[in-house]
Structure formats: structure tokens, C-alpha cells
Amino acid sequence: MRLGIDVGATAIKSGLVDDRYNVTGKRSRPTDARDAAAFLSDLADIGRSYRGSAKITSVGIGLPGQVDPHKGTLVDSTNLALADVPVADTLSRELGVPAFVGNDANCAMFGEVYAGEGVTTPNLIMVTVGTGIGGGIRINGKIYRGRNESAGEFGHMCVNFSGVTCRCGATGCWEAYASVTALIRQTRDAAGQYPQSLLARLIEEGGGAVDGRTAFIAAKAGCPVAEQVVETYAGYLAVGIDNLLIIFRPDKVVLAGAVMNEGDFLVSRIKEKIRFPDQLCISKLHSHAGIIGAAVLGEVYRDHKQFV
């Protein structure tokens, strides 16, 4: 069994992946990135927790930032505010097996290519919606990464040049509108504007907490304000997806990330707003894509020499 660890800005998910890409023993814990020591201690703890349950042959870690696959390090991560962290060494020592690191958006793509839509789809665009928006490109059956392995930063494509400033400093980036971070902001703004709405009351009852599901829960409960948040958010997602469809005319654009668990309630709205709705789908791997992609990093690095 290969152990896959998918490190996100808010949670670390992990699981064991068998030869048929089934995921078992899935676990999740909040990401603690106070400092490199705390972060590595948690990763070692996760590794240890699997030692009794199966014979582990390798471990892969997907990380939200730039990685060095040779050194096995997290080079730099804006989301975690960490740099130069020896992730692979720590886990390799803990488990006594080879350890590999990869970028998280790449891992979602690798999962899709090895176990999901990619198996039968030579031209595939992967869009992972989370704290930011990451992407992956597969052309003629091969993963394409471009200069410095950094193609596919779809989140920083400009969709509104007269719009808001992104945290990257540029104007009108897609993820400034369509990431889950943006959705949370849009949800808060709508609730603030309509304090009598069901949405606002739900948030108040929950002690003020808002996450990527809040607007969907309220919309499904019939709140017109939340309904409008979801509809507008679907429109923001549609603009960037439509661009990718026009630019690549791929066989498929595959959507991943926890927000896609909303399924058709979200995706049917996106499909209404894009030019080639038949080419859009949700990852069948759901939130497993990142775990599977991390678990197969050893294979990926063997099969695709350009990644190491």
C-alpha cells in the first residue's frame, strides 16, 4: 500500500492507496503550520498512525507551494508561510520507505491521470478550486508543465482587468473571484448586506463562522440571498472555465476541490454559462484526487522524467 498525504492550507488529508487506486483508512486533521517543527511533527505523526494497519511501500506528500522533488523539500509556500522544509526526509526516516513530494495542484492532476478521467482522456484540463485555483494540463496523453514546471496557474489568469486586486498583486485574477476564499468573502458580504436573511441568521447561529459550504446550505434551505451568492459564484467559475475551453478545446475540463462536493447544484449552473457544457465534469475521485496523486508520485517521477 502507498500512503498519500494531501496537505492543504486548512486540512491535511491522508489515506492508503492500493494497486487499483482504492483509498482506505482516510484521515483528516487541521493543518498546523505555526512553524516547520510543528508541521513536520504532525506529518511524522500521521505517518506513524498508519504503520500498524498495512505494509507501506512508499509515501507521497502533496504540498501547497513550490517543491523541490530532488531534495524532497517544500521550497516555499505562501499559503503555509513556510520555506525550505525537509518533508520527504522526515517521512522517509519515520516509515523507512521512499518518500516523494509534489505540488498539490499537480498531485490532483496525477490522481486524475492515473485513476480518474485521465485514463481515457488524452486532452484534459484539471481545475482545482480551494484556497486558490490550481490547474493541470494534459496534452496528447502527456502531462504538460511548461517552463520551470509551472504552467497551469489558472487562478492568476486575468478575467476582469478593471476589477479587484488579487493577493498576488495583479488585477482581476480568476481566483480573486472564484476560489473558495473568494466565495467565503462573497458569502460574508451578502450576509452583511441582508442581515434579516436566512443566510445571515444561519451564520449568526453558527457563531459567525463561514466556510465554503455556508452559502450552499442556506440556498438549499430556500434563502434567496444565498441563492444569489451561489448563482454569482457559479458565474465567476464559468468565466475562467469558458476561457480554458476556448483556449484548449480539450476533451474534458475536470473540476476538483471540496466545493465540487456540491455536485450538480453548482455544476449545472456553471454549465448554463459556458460554451461547451458537455466537456465539463467533476472529478470522480472527489476529494481523493489529491491523496491518490500524492500516493502515485513515485510512479509519476519514474514515468515522466520531466518532473524530477
Among 50, 203, 257, residue whose Cα is nearest residue 215: 203
Of residues 69 and 250, the one with the C-beta less far from a copy of itself: 250
Of residues 185 and 213, the one with the C-beta less far from a copy of itself: 185
CB of residue 237 vs a copy of itself: minimum separation in angstroms?
A: 12
Which residue do the cell numbers 449545472 mark? 268
User: What residues have CB less than 8 Å from 41, skipping those under 6 apart?
Assistant: none
Q: Which three cell numbers stand for residue 127?
A: 481545475
Which residue do the cell numbers 492508503 mark? 16
CB of residue 126 vs a copy of itself: minimum separation in angstroms?
A: 13
Contact 194, 225 (CB under 8 A): yes
CB of residue 161 vs a copy of itself: minimum separation in angstroms?
A: 5
Q: What is the binding site for a copy of itself (CB under 8 A)?
A: 123, 135, 137, 139-140, 142, 144-148, 150-154, 156-163, 170, 172, 239, 242-244, 246-251, 275-276, 279
Of residues 28 and 232, the one with the C-beta less far from a copy of itself: 232
CB of residue 130 vs a copy of itself: minimum separation in angstroms?
A: 18
Residue 239, Cα to own-chain centre: how many angstroms? 19
Contact 297, 102 (CB under 8 A): yes
Which secondary structure element, helix H or strand E, spans residue 61, and what is its range? strand 58-63
Of residues 166 and 258, the one with the C-beta less far from a copy of itself: 166
Helix (H, G, I), strand (E, B) or coil at 165: strand
Helix (H, G, I), strand (E, B) or coil at 180: helix
CB of residue 272 vs a copy of itself: minimum separation in angstroms?
A: 14
Of residues 43 and 133, the one with the C-beta less far from a copy of itself: 133
- Angle, helices 264-272 vs 224-248, to 10°: value is 60
CB of residue 131 vs a copy of itself: minimum separation in angstroms?
A: 18
In Å, how far are 30, 87, 110, 203, 260 from 116, measured between CA atoms?
26, 27, 9, 36, 15
Of residues 60 and 135, the one with the C-beta less far from a copy of itself: 135
